[in-house]
Amino acid sequence: MNRPQRNLPLFLATILVLLFFLTRVWALTAFPMFIDEGQHVFHGQEIAASGPLANAVEGRQFTYWYFLAFQPGDNSSLFVIRAATILVVTVGFSALLASGRILAGVPGMVFIGIAYTLSTYHFFYDRLALADTLAGSVMLVAVYFSLRLGKRYSLWDAVFVGISLFTMVMFKLTTLAFFGIPVAAVLFIRNAGITWKQRITWAGTALLVAGGLFGSYILLAAWRGYNPFGLLLTHNTAETSHLLTRWLANVGDFAGWISSYLSAPVFLLLMAACVVLLVRRDFFLLAVAFAPLAVQLINPRQTPRYWVGAVAILLLILSVVIGRLWPRMQRAVQWAIVGAVGAYTVIIWLPFVIPAYTHPADIPLPTHDQRQYIESDGSGFGVREMADIVRQEEPTQVIGLIAHCWALLYMSSDLPVLCPPINPDGSEVEALTQLLAESRQEGVYVITENSPYVPAGIPGEIITTLKRPGDLSTLTLYDLSPEAE
């Protein structure tokens, strides 16, 4: 092979990474901060004040440490934590490219690069500073190092798999089901030159590294009085009488939500590609995608962001099938596929990403995510507009009685914002009522929302009211000056 041909894969990979990165980083802060993003930063800053194992019960310790490393201050930048997230996602994307090349050559690499870049599902979550995004991206690195077993026997690859799995689960504990990746690699990756003894040694090394590191963390946390599984146990149930019914309902939600993001035809193509690999008895990627997904779907609490890693593997499966068939396709079929990708870009992708860059309230999200990220009290919509109004009043103090006060803090760093504790169970209402009574001074303002866990009667004068998209929640600004009634 001459030098230009040898350099072609690297050149194409570089172009794909750059295009991917540009699509993700453009207008990165147009979408307001979601409540979990603020929570990650806030918990990281608590760690800085209380010790490295603080909030270990949340099961996202590396997420908190990671964002803390980028912005340890009280008033931080939304752009910084999202850009930091995209750095990790780009590593995962690069691992996908390399995996596509291992499995289906340059065509496989190119197709997964295009498929992931055009995935509206991943586009949305890649641009939010969420633990699921970080964990899912690192999982793709573990898959890449596992796939190298089909080319060579190297215990260093197994070590890297173990480190990746440990990092993944430390970003978010609910990805524990992906610890089966080394087992799937040993069982299903074909390499006639590797004995079963070597396979078992390889898998044992990967699991020993991952389990040893994670087990050490668990023991350290327990020694310091923390339970890393606390939140996981809280959000799961031991009730099994309706397990199958719940699981089937969650499978239906998975199919519906992913179809809403990617379109029904693409979802059907993903399933058809899985059937192709099944018929060809090529089980590794199928096991990596569906075994952990089957476990995750047992949880009664489901949301689409839980599946970023599994859906990326499904896209890889589709790309591998197309990549392997590509050299044998007639030119007309190849051009038809290129045309279909172009049509998808125009019909599905552009109508999704243009609003994300320019008017994020109009992003065509599935109903579930529309309510959660845009309409609910966990969204940051309306906060910037309210902060602009408050800024005109030149306040000496702004009290945020809103569930997502972190958005007010991090999107309005020039304002003197106070975020008192608010609890959805209503236990803080009495204390908040007392705080408002004591805060009746000139220049003090309070922002509230129509929530049952904030005081119903706010003293002072209403300055303005803003409705979030969908009219599900409302923000109201009050002047707490003594003369204001």
Check residue 5 and give its pLDDT.
65
Query: Which burial class, exposed, middle or buried, applies to 190 when counting CB atoms under 10 A from its CB (0-12, 13-18, 19+)?
Result: exposed
pLDDT at 1 over 70: no
Give the pLDDT of residue 227. Answer: 87
Q: Which one has a higher pLDDT value, 189 or 41?
A: 189
Q: Are strands 417-418 and 397-401 parallel, antiparallel or unpaired?
A: parallel
* Residue appearing with tokens 């399933």: 271
Which range is least confidently modeled, 278-287, 296-305, 320-329, 437-446? 296-305
pLDDT tens digit sequence for 263-287:
999 999 999 999 999 999 999 999 9
Look at the alpha carbons of 301, 302, 303, 309 in this order and tell me if their dihedral is positive or negative. Answer: positive
Across the chain, mean pLDDT equals 92
Contacts of 100 (CB under 8 A, 6+ apart): 108, 109, 110, 111, 112, 113, 316, 319, 320, 323
Q: 457 exposed, middle or buried (CB, 10 Å; 0-12, 13-18, 19+)?
A: exposed
Q: What pLDDT is attached to residue 35?
A: 93
Residues 6+ apart with CB under 8 A from 37: 78, 81, 82, 128, 129, 130, 406
Specify the DSSP class assigned to residue 426: S
Q: How many CB atoms lie within 10 A of CB 294?
A: 14
C-alpha 332 chain-centroid distance:
38
Whether residue 136 contacts residue 308, with contact meaning beta carbons closer than 8 Å, is answered with yes
Q: Which long-range contacts (CB under 8 A, 24 or more apart) does 323-327 make?
A: 323/100, 323/103, 323/104, 323/105, 323/107, 323/108, 323/109, 323/110, 323/111, 323/112, 324/103, 324/104, 324/107, 324/108, 326/104, 326/107, 326/111, 327/107
CA dist 230 and 251 (Å) reads 26
pLDDT higher than threshold 90 for residue 89:
yes
CA distance 416 to 437: 19
Sign of the CA dihedral running 465, 77, 74, 91: positive
Q: Which of 195, 184, 130, 131 is nearest to 161 (CA)?
A: 184
The one-letter amino acid code at 438 reads E
What pLDDT sits at residue 327? 94
Give the span between the Cα atoms of 343 and 152, in whole angstroms: 40
Residue with tokens 């999982």: 139
Which tokens go with 222?
């327990």
Contact 123, 23 (CB under 8 A): yes
364 token code pair:
């065509």
pLDDT digits (tens, 9 = 90+) for 339-362: 999 999 999 999 999 999 999 999
Percent of the chain whose predicted confidence (pLDDT) is above 90: 74
Residue 15 is predicted with a pLDDT of 97
Question: How many whole angstroms separate alpha carbon 137 and alpha carbon 146?
Answer: 15
Question: Residue type at 1?
Answer: M
pLDDT of residue 445: 94
481: pLDDT confidence band, cut at 50, 70 and 90? Answer: confident
Look at residue 134 in the predicted model and tell me its pLDDT: 98
pTM: 0.94
